[in-house]
Structure 1
Amino acid sequence: MATAGVADAKGTGGTDKMAALKEIYNKLKAEVLEDHAVEITNESAVQWIDRMVDYNVLGGKCNRVLFVIDSYNILKGADVLSQEEIFLACTLGWCIEWLHAYFIVLDDIMDNSQTRRGRPCWFTVPQVGLIAINDAIILRNHVPRILRHHFKGKPYYIDIIDLFNEAEFKVVSGELLDLIITHEGRKDLTRYNETIYRHIAEYKCAYHSFYIPVACALLLAGENLGKFGDVKNILIEIGIYFQIQDDYLDCFGDPEFTGKIGTDIEESKCSWLVVQALEHSDENQKSILFENYGKSDPACVAKVKDLYKELNLELVYREYEREIYIKLIADIEAQPNKAVQAILKSFLHKIYKRQK
């Protein structure tokens, strides 16, 4: 993944860049562990939190941290960022990763998922179980403490707090919609449609993973978010595209490569693929879908996947990907701010035709 943040600012390669990100992460984690040590005064509990934070916040590709840094670097138009600028941008990025960790710990429990990022989900780790619910709440509570420690007194502090609060509200709203619609879909697949799907994708993925990093960078750069409504809409559309990729890879991706075993069919999820299948199938094909979707029996899952292939949904996906890319490029190039154009194109090209 090409980046313009810490690597460019420090004049180093990818390895040193990731080491710099990890160094800032370690500093932030040490601060919250110190907070816990004061409140809990129990060494075993603090050690548990130490391990839990590493397990859930780390392990990904640090995309959200990189998105904040890259965006800020482009907005500043500087060859070299100061150490303070790097630290503040990284800290906001890590706070987004912390928030995301909170979401995925709970999401994995609710979906009864087994793997995440190529290893067991946290709640499936021996001796963790439903302690993971409290762990997720701990992760969520770290975010405002980190923000208060490093940003209180900054002119944009309240805007940052509002941004993170809005992100959480949207994600939990999207999670509820996902769960309720999935429950209804088990009884009646016709409840699934494109409108519902887009709402879930926007709230659960697009807003906090794509819009919030750029919004953080804009606030760091002294910009007024009210002037960037079109940019927000484009980032949401990129995020929905990202979620559609995830749904496609859940079925057609290689778990050895993606690091996750897909379970959307078994869990009767309102995925992009089932919405497309409902739209493209005839009555006989619909009956196969209704009979087999949402069942954990491998034979039923295989029948759904065979139907997807019969409907040529892989080609439908490729056509969607081609069309959305053309549309997004046109929308991006219509933006008057060249730096913002560069940010948006960077985001799009990072995920275009991804395989994992």
Structure 2
Amino acid sequence: MSDLKSKFLEVYSVLKSELLNDPAFEFTDDSRQRVERMLDYNVPGGKLNRGLSVVDSYKLLKQGKELTAEETFLACSLGWCIEWLQAYFLVLDDIMDKSHTRRGQPCWFRLPKVGMIAVNDGILLRNHISRILKNHFKGTPYYVDLVDLFNEVEFQTAHGQMIDLITTLVGEKDLSKYSLSLHRRIVQYKTAYYSFYLPVACALLMSGENLDNHVDVKNVLVEMGTYFQVQDDYLDCFGDPEVIGKVNMRMPKLQYCQCKYPNL
């Protein structure tokens, strides 16, 4: 394991401990254990590319200068906020898609004694982000911009998810609305903003930059995110579940691909 990833996981443990002892809520032993299990199952199990990108981007913006321990911790904390956001989206997305597996294991809502409690778990995951930002960034000059950034990206992602869901209703075979231009719109809002733009935007804010001065950066990152999601959709349709770690039950996407690209 790389030194950066090892340090990153250490920060996860710190943030998790803070959340499990948050004075705003009086935990019982059972509730604390359940939240800890939920976090460990859903937050750190992926590739962590989004979170690590915050640290890597901030290092590049520092132009080779060694990060202080505080800077490393703050960059890792912002990275984990994005991983928490990712977990929040995935927990709810799996319910909406009626998926069976995620990252090579059963979706959280499919576990015994979880079920639709997973909806509230998703809400908890989103609220944890606000707690982390408040605990560690409230005294920074860019705190308000951070909160606004996460709110805006969540707004964009939720609307991208909405377009996806109302266009590819399960059981409907009319794919006339599902065009390449609409697919691009879906993936831009559903994936590109939070997966590619958000990590770099966090690093820019940490560096004292005004995001309004970096529209070109946003545009390039959104294009990268769109390309990434096109690849991911292809794997959803034609990838081996044993290799990609999930079974996608969204048949309209597969039907569309087979209709538009019959030679694939």
Identify the residue that residue 197 of structure 1 maps to in structure 2.
183
2:229 to 243, 250, 273: 243
Identify the residue that residue 263 of structure 2 maps to in structure 1.
312
- SS class of match (2:246): coil
Q: Offset at 1:140?
A: 0.5
Identify the residue that residue 102 of structure 2 maps to in structure 1.
116
> Is this contact kept in 1: 2:98–2:249, CA < 8 A?
no
Structure 1 counterpart of 2:104, one-letter code = G
Q: Answer yes or no: is 1:49 the counterpart of 2:49.
A: no
Alignment RMSD: 1.7
Closer, same or farther in 2 for the Cα pair 1:255/1:146, shift >3 Å? same
Q: Answer yes or no: is 1:224 the counterpart of 2:210.
A: yes
> Is this contact kept in 2: 1:185–1:191, CA < 8 A?
no
Q: Offset at 1:27?
A: 0.4
Q: Offset at 1:199?
A: 1.4
In 2, Cα distance between equivalents of 1:187 and 1:264:
12
Which stretches in structure 1 are left out of the alignment for 5+ residues? Answer: 1-13, 280-307, 314-356
- TM-score normalised per structure 2: 0.95
Number of aligned residues: 264
Q: Offset at 1:258?
A: 1.1
- Structure 1 runs (4+) deviating above 6 angstroms are none
List aligned pairs for 1:256-295, cutoff 5 A: 256-265=242-251, 268-269=252-253, 274=256, 277-279=258-260
Q: Offset at 1:252?
A: 2.3
When Rg is computed on C-alpha atoms for both structures, the one with the higher figure is 1
1:72 to 48, 51, 58: 58
Identify the residue that residue 325 of structure 1 maps to in structure 2.
none
Identify the residue that residue 14 of structure 2 maps to in structure 1.
27
Q: Offset at 1:38?
A: 5.6
Q: Answer yes or no: is 1:167 the counterpart of 2:150.
A: no
- SS class of match (1:248): helix
In 1, Cα distance between equivalents of 2:207 and 2:226:
26
List aligned pairs for 1:124-139, cutoff 5 A: 124-139=110-125
> Is this contact kept in 1: 2:97–2:250, CA < 8 A?
no
Structure 2 counterpart of 1:312, one-letter code = N
In 1, Cα distance between equivalents of 2:164 and 2:70:
40
% identical aligned pairs:
56
Closer, same or farther in 2 for the Cα pair 1:187/1:254, shift >3 Å? closer
After superposition, what is the alpha-carbon deviation per residue over 1:126-151, rounded to whole angstroms, capped at 9, x for unaligned? 11100100111000100011001100
Closer, same or farther in 2 for the Cα pair 1:120/1:185, shift >3 Å? closer
Q: Answer yes or no: is 1:158 the counterpart of 2:144.
A: yes
Q: More relative contact order in 1 or in 2 (CA 8 Å, sep 6+)?
A: 2
- SS class of match (2:172): helix
In 1, Cα distance between equivalents of 2:164 and 2:83:
22
Which stretches in structure 2 are left out of the alignment for 5+ residues? Answer: none
